[in-house]
Amino acid sequence: MKGFDEYKLIKNINPRDQLIMGFIELPSDKLLALGRKGNIDIYDMKNNFKHFYSVPKLNKNNPRTKIIFLSNGYFATTSEEGPIEILDINLEKKETLIIQQLEGHKSSSYDILELSNGKLVSVSNNGQILFWEYDPTTNLFKLFKEMNEHPNEYSQLLEDKKRNLLICSPCFDSQGTAIIDLETFSVLKKFEDIAGNGSNEIIMISDKIVLDNSAADEVGLFFIDLDKKEIIKHDKNFNENRTVCFLKLKNGYLLASVVVGDRNDFDLDSDEEDDNENFNEEDDEKEEKINEKFHCDIQTIKILDNGEKLLTVNTKSCVDYAPIISMIELNDGKIVTGSNRIKVYEL
């Protein structure tokens, strides 16, 4: 199996004045990227990742924070103002329509997830958990369940193999990560050991083990056994630097984005607007200078004992202007990383 150190950079899309929050690989050989300011840009993967279409901000007073691709072909976006937009993005016509705006969140909505039964669940920074169901006769979603377990923010959602909902909070409060039964809508477990440290990233690394990366740098990783619903390991010494995001690869390895240095040394604003330039030697030289103060490492991690142990096998420095906060593995095996620029790697 290949580690990330064997991948080569083949495309470097010039920096913008916003971090890339997430990617979606679309069925039409297109790659969607969401920026921190709510911009949605789509790239043509068959045409050297050339910029293809920018989704317009149809509601400029409602910046998007997260986007997902729904099984019915539409997109759902959360927002800083709370309302969730259901979008029809027509790539052939390069047109976008708001199909529906879901009202219910009284504060910023941070994450949205389509469950295995087709329903949606969304969370916001005031502790709201809203469940939505789709009515095929009207082609619309409607709110059917609301929970509010605590007054602080929830930021990330995950459904496990047993149809339980994992929900985590970056706040340093009494909530932290929790497991909710999607049949009874009852809280099965709250992890108090994690709550005091907040949660930065949660990812399923085996059929039953979830990795919860604490938001507090010094307390490392929590290994949660979903069958036992308990923390089976707390690795305080996983990384001396800040781990920002994870990506589970098809080959069984885990990638971790690690920030080395102080990100405050860097100005994320850029006057560069051309997203279609290839990586060149001048960019490389410029980045080497930046590496003296700050860089992002991507670590290749081997998963052992069905997820109960991790072993870092190699690290590759990915010099950048900002932390790598999003990664995706494409169907053809390429890996795309997002900071305030987009980079594409292949073996």
Q: What is the pLDDT of residue 269?
A: 42
pTM: predicted TM-score of the whole model, two decimal places: 0.88
pLDDT of residue 131: 96
Q: Is 90 within 8 Å of 96 (Cβ atoms)?
A: yes
Q: Which CATH superfamily is domain 4-346 in?
A: YVTN repeat-like/Quinoprotein amine dehydrogenase (2.130.10.10)
Cα 330 to the center of its chain, rounded Å: 15
Q: Shortest CA distance to 68 belongs to which of 22, 119, 100, 31?
A: 22
The CA angle 170-172-177, to the nearest 5 degrees, is: 55
Q: How many CA atoms lie within 13 A of 43 on its CB side?
A: 22
pLDDT value for 16: 65
- The segments of the chain whose pLDDT lies below 70 read 1, 15-17, 61, 149-152, 171-175, 195-198, 215-219, 239-241, 262-293, 321
Query: CB under 8 Å to 311, separation ≥6 — which residues?
Result: 301, 302, 304
Write the single-letter amino acid at 8.
K
> Comparing C-alpha atoms, which of 127, 87, 132 is closest to residue 114?
132
pLDDT of residue 174: 56
In this predicted structure, what is the pLDDT of residue 14? 72
pLDDT at 321: 64
Note the pLDDT of residue 281: 46
Rounded distance, CA 321 to CA 263, Å?
A: 8
Question: What DSSP assignment string belongs to 137-199?
Answer: TTTEEEEEEEEE--SS---EEEE-TTSEEEEE--SSSS--SEEEETTTTEEEEE-HHHHTT-E
How far apart CA 195 and CA 168 sit, in angstroms, is: 9
Q: Which pLDDT score, from 0 to 100, does residue 15 have?
A: 62
Other beta carbons less than 10 A from residue 308's beta carbon:
15
With 0-12 / 13-18 / 19 or more C-beta atoms within 10 angstroms meaning exposed / middle / buried, residue 23 is: buried
Long-range residue pairs from 138-147, CB within 8 A, at least 24 positions apart, any chain: 139/99, 140/99, 140/100, 141/86, 141/100, 141/102, 143/102, 143/104, 144/119, 145/185, 146/104, 147/180, 147/185
Measure the CA–CA gap between 190 and 194, rounded to whole angstroms: 9
The H or E element spanning position 122 is strand 120-124
CA-only gyration radius of the chain, Å: 20
Distance CA 84, CA 206 (A): 31
Residue 114's pLDDT is what?
Answer: 97
Q: Output the furthest CA–CA distance in the chain (Å, rounded).
A: 59
Q: What is the pLDDT of residue 273?
A: 39
Helices (H), the chain: 192-195, 281-290
Q: Is the dihedral of CA 295, 248, 302, 343 positive or negative?
A: negative
Structure tokens at 297: 């490492």
Domain boundaries of the chain, sorted by first residue: 4-346
Buried b (16+ CB within 10 A) or exposed e, 287-305: beeeeeebbbbbbbbebee
pLDDT at 292: 52
Do 148 and 169 touch, CB atoms closer than 8 A? no
In the chain, % helix, strand, coil (3-state, to 5) comes to: 10, 50, 40
Q: How far apart are alpha carbons 149 and 190 in whole angstroms? A: 11
